[in-house]
Amino acid sequence: MKRNSQTKNYLVSTLFFAFAVLLAPVVSSAQTSGTTPAKTTPASSDLSSATEIAIGDGPTGIAFDGVSIWVTNQFSNSVIKMDNNGAVLGRYAVGKNPTGVAADATSVWVTNNADNTVTKLSTDGALLGTFAVGDGPQAVLITGKYIWVANERSASITKLSSTGAVIGTFKVGQRPVGLATDGSNIWVANNKSNSVTKLSAAGDVLGNYSVGDGPFGIAFDGTNIWVTNFFSRLVMKLNPSDGTVVAKVPVGDGAAGIAINGNNILVVNNGSNSVSVLGKDGTVVNTLRVGISPYGVVVTPSGVWVTNSGSDSISRR
């Protein structure tokens, strides 16, 4: 039944927030890359223009290390490394129910939601360590020499050093599932509090701001913060200085993962099996068809890649 339930009640209760309701990056947050790839021009919304690649069991999180693409498979307790054409370069065992992933030029970090741990791999796939964090680690973010982990069941953020040492644990809203940085501060999407929290680099709470129903994905476009709201079918554009809502943009059903693609904002619509392409002014300029129950999205020089948790595949647009 993991691919058919799309109710709010299931979303809130499940530990495996992938599929038609909710997973994190994730982004998600999935959620980050150590590089800023050049803009990729989106294809048309014609499904025939998408490349579909069968991969894993429950693909959710996705990240780009500047060379390779990394995908978590929550039901096979593994992470997959692919090249920019979608060829599998390796499969590596991690913890139980891996959901979020972040990567930079030297390392890959995976959240193991059922183990309350994160796994650190080299970009060659070698295991570099497994480290305890909070309850239900979901999203992960790399900011230079620090790693930030959103713990959905303990309503907290764990800050780690690059060696896995815990530097601090900070309380945020209920069910944090998305992470982003504006270059100085950390932004957290609190799914059950209908809010986002702004943290300083030291972990101090700088603000809590109300958004829509079921905030999920969060991203920074260089000027503004963008938040997807799963149950509101909205994306909200926020002023990062004070959290005020600058714009509300209707998108598809189940707005989930989000990524920046040059001057475009990419929003994964989990319930609509599509990706909305927005301009920075909030205008919807395109809609791309993808697989079933899409979740995470990442931009690489070879295209826009989306994990389809319900069809065990990845779409390249």
Contact predicate 265/221, CB 8 Å:
yes
Contact predicate 160/49, CB 8 Å:
no
Interval 202-226: pLDDT, tens: 999 999 999 999 999 999 999 999 9
pLDDT of residue 51: 86
- What are the C-alpha distances in Å from 135 to residues 129, 138, 312? 18, 9, 26
pLDDT of residue 11: 35
pLDDT of residue 42: 58
Amino acid letter, 306: V
pTM of the predicted model, to two decimals? Answer: 0.89
Low-confidence ranges of the chain (pLDDT < 50): 1-38, 43-44, 48
pLDDT of residue 56: 87
Amino acid letter, 110: V
Interval 163-194: pLDDT, tens: 999 999 999 999 999 999 999 999 999 999 99
Pairing of strands 215-220, 225-229: antiparallel
Tell me the H-state helices in 153-304. Answer: none
The whole-angstrom separation of Cα 252 and Cα 248 is 13
- What are the C-alpha distances in Å from 42 to residues 46, 49, 222, 286? 11, 10, 20, 8
- Identify the H or E element spanning 8: helix 8-13
Contact predicate 283/267, CB 8 Å:
no
- Identify the H or E element spanning 155: none
Token readout for 117 is 């741990």
